[in-house]
């Protein structure tokens, strides 16, 4: 049974023992119990459902009480869910935001109650009330995707020119800009040189963005691009930031006569190592790359953060100067993403126990 935190006054984030409101120094203190609220953003992408569950299981194994909710892409629902977690007296919030700028008010309230706020995978912006950020090296994700395109088109050996189109993620998710910057910075010199040509001219984050990371939105944009610019020209590559988007892109390519598995099928990248995309990578029927982020590791890292604070220590941090949320550089713990292709998916994804070969063959986790 957790202690209700309502009406209690906490010290700074990370304090293990806190004074009860109204008690003088040296009087009764309340030990943190680890009571945690987990706020996940969507259930349309596999990872958030799996990670929400892992976080919940990990924390419960430590004997902590947990409230776990998924806001299914609705910003107001997420705010309400977080508010009710605060009202219930959570000591920790682990939040993967739907919209990174909409949580200021509810987090101010959380801070008043002394809650430690951990921004999970997606950085929460424009509020001082975020204590820690745990994610992957998001810029590196874009670098890996772009490097795959450079390798597959042999841009260092071939003179080209090759046609490429760029996709970015949801504009409300801070990660989108990092993926996009990592990709664009890596491709930039080839674009200047004229080896890579973007016929649409769409090179900024806004026109390339994909609302809610939706495959359907990506399908529509790709259809439009193919009609407008590629009736008489071949497309050679698509920089796509996430598997769900990649599958929408591939669907539009197939719809317009490109044949998966043929040599002239455009190189399409991805991210998250989703079973359905790995199936395509393995069988050569769509995208050729994804970026694996070991989300089990992220969930256990964040569990360890909570545990460290409950036990009176400080959580492990490995970056203090990259993730500026508009108020401060949020102390971060960043994990490494891994490039996955048909050549190494077994070693990286299957041998590590993330997905079984059967799940990949079925295209479903
Ligand atoms: C991002 C996340 C990606 C992908 C995407 C769509 O925030 O970093 O790994 O999951 O959301 O859900």
**pLDDT(16) > 90:** no
For the stretch 68-126, pLDDT in tens is 999 999 999 999 999 999 999 999 999 999 999 999 999 999 999 999 999 999 999 99
Give the Å distance between the CA of 242 and the centre of ligand 1: 7
Q: Provide the pLDDT confidence category of residue 8 given band limits of 50, 70 and 90.
A: very low
The whole-number pLDDT of residue 343 equals 98
Q: What is the CATH number of domain 138-292+341-362?
A: 3.40.50.2300
**pLDDT(23) > 80:** no
Q: Provide the pLDDT confidence category of residue 29 given band limits of 50, 70 and 90.
A: low
**pLDDT(6) > 60:** no
The whole-number pLDDT of residue 44 equals 87
Instruction: Among 39, 42, 45, name the best residue to mutate to test ligand 1's pocket (greatest count of ligand atoms within 8 A of Cβ).
Output: 45
Q: Provide the pLDDT confidence category of residue 306 given band limits of 50, 70 and 90.
A: very high
Q: What residues contact residue 263 under an 8 Å CB cut-off, 6+ apart?
A: none
Please tell me the residue having the least CA distance from ligand 1 atom 6: 213
Residues 345 and 93: their CA atoms lie apart, in Å, by 34
**CATH architecture label of 36-130+294-335:** 3-Layer(aba) Sandwich (3.40)
Residue with tokens 């990092």: 178
For the stretch 125-172, pLDDT in tens is 999 999 999 999 999 999 999 999 999 999 999 999 999 999 999 999
Residue with tokens 């100067």: 321
**Using the 8-state DSSP alphabet, how is residue 110 labeled?**
H
Give the Å distance between the CA of 246 and the centre of ligand 1: 13
- The binding-site residues of ligand 1, defined as CB within 6 angstroms of any ligand atom, are 45, 47, 121-122, 173, 175, 213, 242, 271-272, 293
**pLDDT(336) > 60:** yes
Give the Å distance between the CA of 127 and the centre of ligand 1: 21
Q: At what angle are helices 295-310 and 46-61 packed, to 10 degrees?
A: 30
Q: What is the mean pLDDT of the chain?
A: 92
Instruction: Among 242, 276, 290, 334, name the best residue to mutate to test ligand 1's pocket (greatest count of ligand atoms within 8 A of Cβ).
Output: 242
**Using the 8-state DSSP alphabet, how is residue 328 labeled?**
-
**pLDDT(19) > 80:** no
Residues 240 and 273: their CA atoms lie apart, in Å, by 13
Closest CA to 171 of 130, 212, 201, 224: 212
171 or 16: whose pLDDT is higher?
171
The whole-number pLDDT of residue 45 equals 85
Q: Tell me whether the CATH fold assigned to 36-130+294-335 matches the one assigned to 138-292+341-362.
A: yes
Closest CA to 118 of 107, 129, 133: 133
What is the mean predicted confidence (pLDDT) over 196-218? 97
Residues 62 and 154: their CA atoms lie apart, in Å, by 50
**pLDDT(326) > 80:** yes
Please tell me the residue having the least CA distance from ligand 1 atom 1: 175
For the stretch 234-291, pLDDT in tens is 999 999 999 999 999 999 999 999 999 898 999 999 999 999 999 999 999 999 999 9
What is the mean predicted confidence (pLDDT) over 166-189? 96
Q: What residues contact residue 335 under an 8 Å CB cut-off, 6+ apart?
A: 135, 136, 137, 293, 294, 297, 298, 301
Q: Please identify, by atom number, the ligand 1 atom nearest to the C-alpha of residue 293.
A: 9
The whole-number pLDDT of residue 1 equals 34
14 or 175: whose pLDDT is higher?
175
Domain boundaries, the chain: 36-130+294-335, 138-292+341-362
């Amino acid at each position: 049974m957790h202690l209700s935190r309502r009406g209690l006054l906490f010290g700074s984030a990370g304090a293990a023992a806190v004074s009860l409101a109204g008690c003088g120094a040296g009087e009764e203190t309340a030990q943190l119990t680890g009571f945690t609220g987990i706020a996940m953003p969507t259930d349309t992408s596999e990872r958030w459902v799996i990670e929400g569950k892992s976080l919940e299981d990990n924390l419960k194994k430590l004997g902590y009480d947990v409230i776990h909710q998924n806001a299914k892409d609705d910003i107001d629902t997420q705010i309400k869910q977080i508010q009710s977690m605060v009202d219930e007296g959570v000591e920790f919030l682990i939040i993967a935001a739907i919209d990174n700028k909409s949580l200021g008010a509810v987090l101010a309230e959380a801070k008043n109650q002394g809650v430690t706020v951990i921004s999970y995978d997606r950085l929460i912006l424009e509020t001082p009330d975020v204590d820690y950020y745990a994610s992957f090296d998001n810029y590196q994700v874009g670098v890996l995707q772009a490097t795959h395109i450079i390798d597959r088109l042999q841009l260092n050996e071939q003179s080209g020119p090759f046609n490429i189109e760029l996709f970015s993620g949801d504009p409300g998710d801070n990660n989108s800009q990092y993926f996009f910057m990592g990709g664009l910075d890596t491709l930039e010199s080839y674009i200047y040189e004229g080896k890579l040509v973007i016929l649409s001219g769409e090179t900024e984050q806004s026109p390339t963005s994909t609302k809610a990371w939706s495959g359907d939105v990506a399908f529509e944009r790709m259809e439009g691009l193919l009609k407008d610019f590629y009736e008489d020209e071949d497309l050679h590559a698509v920089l796509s930031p996430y598997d769900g988007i990649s599958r929408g892109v591939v669907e539009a390519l197939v719809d317009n006569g490109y044949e998966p598995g043929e040599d002239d099928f455009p190189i399409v990248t991805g991210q998250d190592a989703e079973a359905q995309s790995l199936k395509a990578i393995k069988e050569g029927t769509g995208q050729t790359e994804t970026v694996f982020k070991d989300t089990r590791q992220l969930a256990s890292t964040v569990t360890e953060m909570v545990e460290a604070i409950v036990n009176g220590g400080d959580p492990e941090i490995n970056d203090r100067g990259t993730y500026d949320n508009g108020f401060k550089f949020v102390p971060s713990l960043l994990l490494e993403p891994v490039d996955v292709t048909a050549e190494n998916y077994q070693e990286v994804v299957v041998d590590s126990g993330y997905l079984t070969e059967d799940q990949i063959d079925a295209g479903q986790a």
